[in-house]
Homo-oligomer: A and B are copies of this chain.
Amino acid sequence: MKIFRMFRFILSLLLFCTSFGLMSQSLNLMPLPADIELGRGQFKIEQNFEIGFVSATDRLFGYATRFLRRLDGKTGEFFTQNQLGNNDDNENASLFIRIQREGLIELYEDESYELDITSEAVNLVAVTDIGAMRGLETLLQLVESDVNGYYFPVVKIRDEPRFPWRGLLIDFGRHWIPLDVVKRNIDGMALVKMNVLHMHLTEDQGFRIESLRYPKLHELGSNGKYFTQEEIRHLIGYAGDRGIRIVPEFDLPGHTTSWFVGYPGLASAPGPYQIETDFGVQDPTMDPTKESTYRFLENFFDEMTSLFPDEYVHIGGDENNGNQWDSNVEIQKFMRDNGFIDNHELQRDFNSRLLEILEDRGKKMMGWDEIFQPGISTDIMIQSWRGRSAMIESAQMGHKTILSNGYYIDLMQPASFHYQNDPIPADTPLSSREQSNILGGEAAMWTEIVSEETIDSRIWPRTAAIAERLWSPPDVTDVDDMYNRLKVISVALEDVGLMHEKNVNMMLRRLVGSDDITVLKTLVDVIEPLEGYARHGKIDFQTYTPLTRLADAAKPEASVAREFQLLVDSFASGNSDVIQDIKDHLLKWVENHRQFKEVVENAPIIKESEKLSLDLSNISKVGLQALSKTVKHSEDWKQKANRVLDSAKTPHMECELKVVDSIRKLVEFSK
């Protein structure tokens, strides 16, 4: 019942939206296309739905076949086409796909498309097959239904991306993320039109790629958890079939402990080395003063640059604390001999050598913003992570630049935060020429406290909001509308196998050791893991620390907390229709704690969370008092209420309650 009341509430909210907002809501597209012209009428999706190609590529046949299976999976229609191929040029098709040429899996490739849906037919036209893939994703998101069945609305869409580099970084070093997880995330990226998978392949905690030239790298540096070269080739093909580039990162000269387990001679201090299990900035750093280091890197990059076809290679360059350099007499002598006044200059020299090595092999180099120093070649691309200023400066200096600051999805910030982080906002200090150096951005999925079980819920659905920021026009900025569409896209993302939703409940079942998770779920729906690096401050995480506890199961964004906040905001703006809904939530939370105590008895692992449940119960009672007509809302009562709320606002262990501010609002509005 409550669900339907909520639904009606959302509907009534929508009535206040602009016509564009209303349209995009009804269309549920993400990212929103550049140009939509909504008509009247429907193209009905029925059993006779067929795809015909005017021209195509093998990978487009494959993509369209998967499209067909997702469409019949969604609608239940028994289409007659199986595997699409050269025979499918049928004139009687309902969906015609026409492209001019095969796209290149390269930066700046054309991804535009036009979609023209009438009640009779669907026409998808694009320059490249990649553009057609982007259009097919839009088309799938256009599926609507009414009592008569499923249909596409009559609409004309012209679309192209705002930025050419729309990436997702996955850190395979700190926690191992297996092949099938990567593949479903590539499908998720394609669904929201992202086009670069940045593979952070080497770290202190693991060397995650097979090297035939230097096999001790992966044999001794990975605990057996690495991609074979065949798997990498498979991934590159898989991503390419979806119009997605793969850019590898080999982080140098710091973050290199795992290299030194097999090859201690590369380090700036004597070994032996062990694979690091702790996190944070570590001392081990490559020795940039030995010619043998460069011979090793030349051979290594010979191998890796022929394995990875992309033009770009990322060399990291971040977080070198310089300790090993400072305490190495020979390195100090080298610096004096060469007139390097500090470690930055030494690292700049190292980077110049790397640039030469990569350019000799036909590659472009990129690195984190630490490598942006006076005097470095503008041929180097900069990825900004420490702040926006590095992005601005480097673009001004003529470097190609992408933004990751503000897109660190391991920090558990809300989608709205990332969404509002525009690389080129209206007030950018950059000239239009400088702006052209900003290629886009990358969501960064660092994995210190992320496992293969939790990674999907840390990436999705929030990354879809980042994808929209990087694809859609800059004036697409309505946060509420984004959240409404994000809810729908989150369900669609499950279609390609993503587990952001289903792994949460699985983890709750493991926590309580039973398939009945009702009580724990009620709590989890209103808590979030701590933002930023706060969890690291509470716990000494190692690579093998269990990531199965409540803070790991909790989603980065507590959806019920957000729904409750919308209700309270509506109430605060004078809508008294929502009072019963608010009360229902509060009563449920009060009641939940009674049962929570019983659940905890059989699940010691969640014992610590009893305080969260108690706090939730206590503040819910406060909320009910605030809404009560019989309680006197004296100053004294308000002070007491605020003390309860203050106490509940304090993060407990690694989680925080996300309904405290909403209930405080109820207290403020109590008369």
Contacts and interface: CB of A to CB of B under 8 A. Distances in A.
A12 interface: no
Given A501-B515, A513-B491, A548-B74, A4 B605 contact: no
A603 interface: yes
B546 A78 contact: yes
A505 interface: yes
Q: How large is the interface on A (under 10, 10 to 19, 20 to 34, 35 or more residues)?
A: 35 or more
Nearest to A1: B595
Given A83-B223, A147-B601, A548 B76 contact: yes
A179 to B, nearest CB: 8
A277 B75 CA distance: 21
A4 B595 contact: yes
Interface in A58-89: 62, 69, 72-79, 82-83
A598 interface: yes
A223 B83 CA distance: 8
Contacts of A499: 502
A82 B546 contact: no
A487 B510 contact: no
How many copies the complex holds: the figure is: 2
Residue from A178, A180, A509, A604 having most chain B Cβ neighbours under 10 A? A604
Interface in A392-411: none
Nearest to A503: B502
B510 A73 contact: yes
Interface in A533-591: 542-546, 548-549, 559
Contact of A145 (B490, B509, B548, B602): B602
A605 B510 contact: no
Contacts of A545: 78
Contact of A77 (B277, B502, B546, B595): B546
Nearest to A230: B230
Interface in A592-631: 595, 598, 601-605
24 contacts: A3-B518, A74-B510, A74-B605, A75-B546, A75-B605, A77-B546, A78-B542, A78-B545, A78-B546, A82-B543, A83-B223, A145-B513, A145-B604, A146-B604, A147-B604, A178-B180, A179-B180, A488-B514, A491-B510, A491-B513, A494-B510, A501-B515, A502-B506, A515-B559
Listed from nearest, the 7 A-B pairs whose CB atoms lie closest are A180-B180, A502-B502, A76-B605, A73-B548, A72-B546, A82-B544, A149-B604
Given A69-B546, A74-B510, A502-B505, 14 more contacts: A1-B595, A4-B595, A62-B224, A74-B513, A74-B605, A82-B542, A83-B223, A145-B513, A146-B601, A147-B601, A178-B180, A179-B180, A180-B180, A501-B509
